[in-house]
């Protein structure tokens, strides 16, 4: 039960109270919710008023959608206050502008359940979207309110059926979230319903762009599948077509570089990967692939540099560690190799490649690897404290 309902009590009316409010007939058999005053836990007969009854009903309408008398309370409110929807909407907007978002949320939620319309659900979803943006880190709070925004729009659609405004709003919500295929489905439903208008024409243009994008992504996946099936020439043909249409997508250049390396066209592969790097400088996979190209070209030092950057970007990647450890072993740089192997076996001591490289290290160095070394970083104050208390090891 929502905490707001803790401030509502239910009262029974005497049978003599069965009278009409306009065309609405009061049913004394149905208990009425009454909102308590702030800080109160009980209510006396003198403090019961139509305003408190209406307030109690609005809280039930907002937060207790399973209440069997919700329809009755809704009709009661609209009979007693015919302008309630308009007044609540104005109040909700005013509270949102003041920054009182929890109260604005309650008011918008009440309006949604009191008189369901697409605009009321969109107003509430917009409020949740606004609350999501308060989380600049886009963490749990952001995800929570974004999901509430979507749930609100979906609820509106379940209540109102195929509604143009809600379909368009849900479509653009998914488009903003990057769910392109879902966005396309909702926007197509909107276009099927909508009358000719500037908004419809704009949406149709966006749909055309979405279809083009999805077709391009399909071609990218086909290229990836072709590489996996050792059909490099087919993959290269698909990738060149894609890049001609979408010259700013780094994944395409990455796949092209990978394909060209497998075809042993190392200089071309490196050029494609550098183009990928210009578009996406934080991908460790690009640096790893560049390292493989440099290695094939016989430039071990450049390969080490690329792998070092890849490892900086993805410090727990055991593949990068093993590749770099191998290169250091091949160059006779045993201390660097050992440091990497200690890190790698701390992550996965059962990895067959790491075990083989450890054996190579022991054979090459004549040294024996002991127990796993766990690196510990301590502050200067902690070091001083340990020394003060006679600690022998840091």
Q: What is the pLDDT of residues 195-253, one digit of tens each?
A: 999 999 999 988 988 887 787 788 889 999 999 999 999 999 999 999 998 898 899 99
Is 54 domain-assigned?
no
Is 173 domain-assigned?
no
Please measure the distance between the N-terminal and C-terminal CA atoms of the chain and give it in whole angstroms.
55
Residue 342 CA to residue 361 CA, distance in Å, equals 11
CB 114 within 8 A of CB 92: no
pLDDT tens digits along 117-166? 999 999 999 999 999 988 888 899 999 999 999 999 999 999 999 999 99
Which is more confident, 196 or 4? 196
Is 328 domain-assigned?
yes
Is 296 domain-assigned?
no
Query: 303 to each of 288, 318, 325, 332, 376, how far by Cα in Å?
Result: 8, 17, 12, 15, 29
Residue 54 CA to residue 127 CA, distance in Å, equals 24
Bridge-based pairing of strands 32-35 and 24-25 is: unpaired
pLDDT at residue 388 in the model: 47
Q: How confident is the model at residue 369 (pLDDT cuts 50, 70, 90)?
A: low
- What is the DSSP track for 249-284? -HHHHHHHHHHHHHTT-HHHHHHHHHHHHHH-TT-H
pLDDT over 60 at 392, yes or no? no
pLDDT at residue 373 in the model: 43
Q: What is the DSSP letter of 372?
A: P
Is 374 domain-assigned?
yes
pLDDT at residue 46 in the model: 67
Is 260 domain-assigned?
no
CB 29 within 8 A of CB 69: no
Which is more confident, 88 or 372? 88
Residue 371 lies in domain: 316-394
pLDDT tens digits along 40-80? 767 767 667 778 888 888 888 888 878 889 888 888 888 88
- Mean pLDDT within 299-323: 92
Is 379 domain-assigned?
yes
Residue 371 CA to residue 160 CA, distance in Å, equals 66
Whole-number average pLDDT of the chain: 86
Residue 173 CA to residue 151 CA, distance in Å, equals 11
The domain tally of the chain equals: 1
Which residues are CB-neighbours of 390 under 8 A, at least 6 positions away?
A: none
Is 1 domain-assigned?
no
């Amino acid at each position: 039960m929502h905490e707001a309902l803790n401030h509502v009590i239910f009262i029974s009316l005497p049978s003599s109270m069965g009278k009409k409010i306009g065309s609405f007939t009061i049913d004394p058999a149905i208990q009425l919710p009454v909102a308590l005053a702030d800080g109160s836990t009980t209510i006396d007969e003198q403090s019961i008023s139509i305003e408190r009854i209406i307030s109690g009903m609005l809280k039930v309408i907002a937060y207790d959608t399973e209440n069997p008398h919700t329809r009755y309370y809704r009709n009661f409110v609209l009979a007693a206050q015919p302008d309630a929807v308009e007044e609540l909407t104005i109040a909700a907007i005013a509270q949102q502008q003041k920054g009182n978002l929890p109260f604005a949320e309650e008011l918008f939620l009440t309006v949604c359940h009191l008189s369901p319309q697409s605009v009321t659900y969109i107003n509430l979803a917009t409020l949740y979207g606004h609350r999501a943006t308060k989380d600049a880190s886009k963490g749990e709070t952001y995800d929570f309110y974004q999901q509430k925004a979507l749930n609100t729009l979906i609820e509106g659609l379940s209540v109102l059926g195929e509604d143009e405004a809600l379909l368009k709003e849900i479509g653009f919500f998914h488009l903003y979230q990057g769910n392109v295929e879902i966005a396309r489905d909702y926007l197509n439903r909107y276009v099927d319903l909508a009358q000719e208008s500037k908004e419809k024409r704009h949406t149709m243009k966006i749909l055309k762009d979405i279809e083009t994008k999805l077709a391009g992504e399909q071609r990218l996946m086909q290229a990836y599948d072709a590489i996996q099936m050792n059909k490099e020439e087919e993959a290269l043909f698909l990738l060149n077509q894609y890049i001609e249409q979408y010259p700013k997508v780094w994944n395409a250049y990455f796949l092209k570089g990978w394909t060209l390396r497998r075809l042993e066209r190392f200089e071309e592969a490196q050029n494609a990967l550098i183009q990928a790097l210009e578009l996406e400088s934080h991908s460790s996979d690009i640096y790893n692939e560049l390292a493989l190209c440099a290695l094939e070209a016989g430039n071990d030092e450049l390969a080490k540099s690329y792998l070092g950057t890849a490892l900086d970007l993805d410090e727990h990647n055991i593949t990068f560690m093993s590749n770099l450890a191998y290169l250091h072993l091949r160059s006779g740089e045993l201390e660097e190799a050992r440091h990497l192997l200690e890190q790698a076996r701390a992550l996965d001591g059962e990895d067959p490649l790491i075990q083989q490289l450890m054996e190579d290290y022991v054979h090459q160095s004549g040294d024996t690897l002991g127990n796993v070394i766990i690196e510990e970083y301590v502050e200067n104050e902690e070091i001083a404290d340990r020394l003060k208390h006679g600690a022998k090891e840091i």
